[in-house]
Chains A and B, each alone.
Chain A
Amino acid sequence: MSRDLIGKGAIVLLALPALLLPALVLGYIAHKGVAAVSWQFLFDTSQGIGAQLSGSLLLALGACLLAAPLALGTALYHRLLASPRQRRLLDLLLQMLQGIPPIVFGLCGLVVFVHLLQWGVSLASGAVVLAMVILPMLVLNTIAALARIPAEYGEAAQSLGLGHGAVIGRVWLRLAWRPLVTGLLLGTARALSETAPILFTATVFSGVVWPASIFEPVTTLQTHIFYLAQEGSDPRAIQTAWGSALVLIAVVAACGLAARLLRKVGYT
């Protein structure tokens, strides 16, 4: 018995850094951030981070609006129309896309959208780049959600004479909407937390409250933290950075929590 205690003690000791350090870091961010956060800080566009918060949300919303129909269509094609060979090819291409680091999406966006298509550093460029970042996770999530629906449901509907459209709308989407929304929430969280893809494609340091068109740049919470962190000489800038970090974590965690609750409720 005591031998077991030694083994377990050693494991706990080895695990301590992984158990304690993240908690300490989170605590430190909360401690530093709380001092900066107030209603004015959250919503004011000159004293606070109202403009940055709305810019982040706009980009994430744009990315989801672009990626969601594409992801649903791709997953339905995968389930309904694809031959086994096309299915394997699609899986392979999506896995490759999923492995691409965020900064490479940023590079590609800079080359293609900012320069080649002349959209400039803009909301549009950033939204398309972020849509590319979250596309593979959305498609793979939707494929998995559709795969969990028993095949008989679709077959039964088809035997009643329903076409593909009716099977999708009346059977599948009704059964699978929870996991689909869960995936979309996780995609939103991902789009909100990425910095590298939008650094050169969508954002400026300051001076934008609300973009006049989708071809105007925005300011975002992520890049705001990034720029402020490097303003070493100004303690107020650093405090704002900690406050922004806390708000960003809260928004991302809220998406994650909503996704978790929805997943827990389960099917139908």
Chain B
Amino acid sequence: MLRLWLTTSALLSGATIVLLLGFLIHASWPLLQSQGLAFASGSEWYPYEGLFGLLPALAGSLWAITLALLLAVPAAVAAAVVSAELWPRRGGTPLRFAMELMAGIPSVVYGLVGLWLLLPLLEGGFDLLTGRSLLAAGLLLALMIMPTIMLFTDDALRAVPQERREAALSLGLSWAALLWRVILPEAWPGIRIAILLALGRAMGETVAVMLVVGSIDRLPDPIYDLLQPAQTLTSRIGREMAEAAAGSLHWAALISGGLVLALLSITLSLLAQRRRAG
């Protein structure tokens, strides 16, 4: 009995990811068959005319994630330095506790904040007709991933042996040099994991992004114009999945977007795990 329970559980748990990918491939097969890999580079997405280009959503996701990381990483790493180096009371500082609380806030709440706090601010600040844009998505994502990056960086900084700090200080290094030359390099593997995890979170985030990104399927024109409404991989699925008829080409196209998302996320996750082990 016991052996049966354990073996069945392990088989089911292990098979989950295989089945999940299998069903995704199966459901997106009609599109892969009719368009091949060309759908990944098509820049036009008009479901009713049979055009299913993935490029606008890919570009949108890439922009939103890049923006979020550029904004969040410096501030979050600095905040972790404050909490681990300047205010390193043993155990959990109040700051760490606050960050854990923030990291637990559901993404739909961030969506509400984005829609009713961030968008009006952007509209006022940039004098826009609508604040829905890649900039809004990037800002919101930055806010969402900051606590995660800070918590993991804080762990990495606290794991740096105290002797390294003392040795560096006894050599007469300034605090800035100690931080830049000793502590950050030593903690870098951990910080890199933090960034990879945050990257995965930002890429897979759906509800918050789809509420503020505008959901218009076109490449930004010019490509660096972040103030226009756009689309990401996740927001496209979230917006259109309910209207696509089950089994149609549109449906298969949306699921193949999900498949691309899954494969990218698995790569990131394995990369982070490998770093952690190595």
- State whether these chains interact: yes
Please list the residues of chain A having a beta carbon within 8 angstroms of any beta carbon in chain B.
3-4, 6-8, 10-12, 14-19, 21-23, 25-26, 28-29, 69-74, 76-78, 80-82, 86, 89-90, 92-108, 110-112, 115-116, 132, 135, 139, 164-165, 168, 189, 192-196, 199-200, 222-223, 225-226, 229-230, 238, 241-242, 245, 248-249, 252-253, 256, 260
- B78 interface contact, C-beta 8 A: yes
Q: Which of B173-204 contact A (CB under 8 A)?
A: 174-176, 179, 200, 203-204
Q: Can you list 28 contacts pairing A with B, beta carbon distance less than 8 Å?
A: A8-B86, A15-B81, A22-B143, A26-B102, A73-B5, A73-B9, A74-B9, A77-B6, A77-B10, A81-B10, A82-B10, A93-B17, A99-B270, A100-B262, A100-B266, A101-B200, A101-B265, A102-B204, A102-B206, A104-B261, A132-B20, A193-B105, A196-B107, A199-B238, A222-B108, A248-B106, A256-B100, A256-B104
Query: What chain A residues lie within 8 Å of B14 (beta carbons)?
Result: 74, 89-90, 93-94
Are A229's CB and B262's CB within 8 A? no
Q: Mark B5-41, 1 if CB is under 8 A from A, else 0.
A: 1111110111011101001100100000000000000
Q: Which B residues touch A104, using CB under 8 A?
A: 20, 24, 204, 258, 261-262, 265
Shortest Cβ distance from residue A113 to the other chain B in the assembled complex, whole angstroms: 10
User: For residue A220, which residue of chain B has the nearest CB?
Assistant: B108
Q: Give the dominant DSSP class at B's interface.
A: helix
Q: A69-B9, A100-B266 are in contact. Are A107 and B241 (CB under 8 A)?
A: yes
Candidate in A8, A73, A82, A107 with the most chain B CB atoms within 10 angstroms: A107
- Inter-chain contact B238/A103, CB cutoff 8 Å: yes
Assembled-state Cα–Cα distance A242/B269 (Å): 33
Asked if B79 lies at the interface with its beta carbon under 8 angstroms from chain A, I say: yes
Whether B206 and A107, one on each chain, are in contact in the complex, defined by CB atoms closer than 8 angstroms, is: no
Q: B23 to A112, Cβ gap below 8 A? A: yes
- Interface size on B (CB < 8 Å)? 78
Chain B nearest CB: distance from A118 CB in Å? 11
Is B101's beta carbon under 8 Å from chain A?
A: yes
B43-51, B112-120, B159-167: which lies at the interface:
B112-120
Chain A CB within 8 A of B109 CB: yes
Q: B124: shortest Cβ distance to chain A, in Å?
A: 16
Q: Which residues on the A side are within 8 Å of B156 (C-beta)?
A: none
Is B42 an interface residue, CB under 8 A from the partner? no
Q: Please report the C-alpha to C-alpha distance between residue A93 and residue B170 in the assembled complex, in whole angstroms.
A: 47
Q: Take A28-B117, A95-B270, A104-B24 as given contacts and tell me if A111 and B255 are in contact as well, using a CB distance cutoff of 8 Å.
A: yes
CB distance from A11 to the nearest CB of B (A): 5
Q: B82-110: which have CB < 8 Å to A?
A: 82, 86, 95, 98-102, 104-109
CB distance from B56 to the nearest CB of A (A): 18
Distance in angstroms from B140 CB to nearest chain A CB is 10
Expressed in whole angstroms, the Cα–Cα distance for A168 and B255 within the complex equals: 42
Contact status B109-A29, CB under 8 Å: yes
> CA of A167 to CA of B18 in the docked complex: distance in angstroms?
32
B238 touches A222 (CB 8 A): no
CB pair A77 B207 closer than 8 Å: no
A94 to B9, CA, bound (A): 13
- Tell me whether B135 is interfacial, beta carbon within 8 Å: no
How near does chain A come to B21, taking the closest CB pair, in angstroms?
A: 9
Chain A residues within an 8 Å CB radius of B99: 22
